[in-house]
Amino acid sequence: MAFEVDEIDLEGGVAWSVLVRGLATVIGEPTGADIDADHAVGASPGDRILSIRPDVVTGRRFPLLAGAAPGDVARST
pLDDT tens, position by position, 39-71: 555 666 677 888 899 999 999 998 887 665 555
Lowest-confidence segment of 20-24, 28-32, 44-48 by average pLDDT: 28-32
- DSSP labels, the chain: -EEEEEEEETTTTEEEEEEEE--EEEEE---TTT--TTTSTT--TT--EEEE--SEEEEEEEEBPTT--TT-B----
Instruction: Say whether pLDDT at 25 is over 50.
Output: yes
Measured from the Cβ of residue 54, the count of other Cβ atoms closer than 10 Å reads: 11
CB 5 within 8 A of CB 17: yes
User: Can you give the residue ranges of every domain in the chain?
Assistant: 2-63
- Please give the model's pTM, rounded to 2 decimal places: 0.60
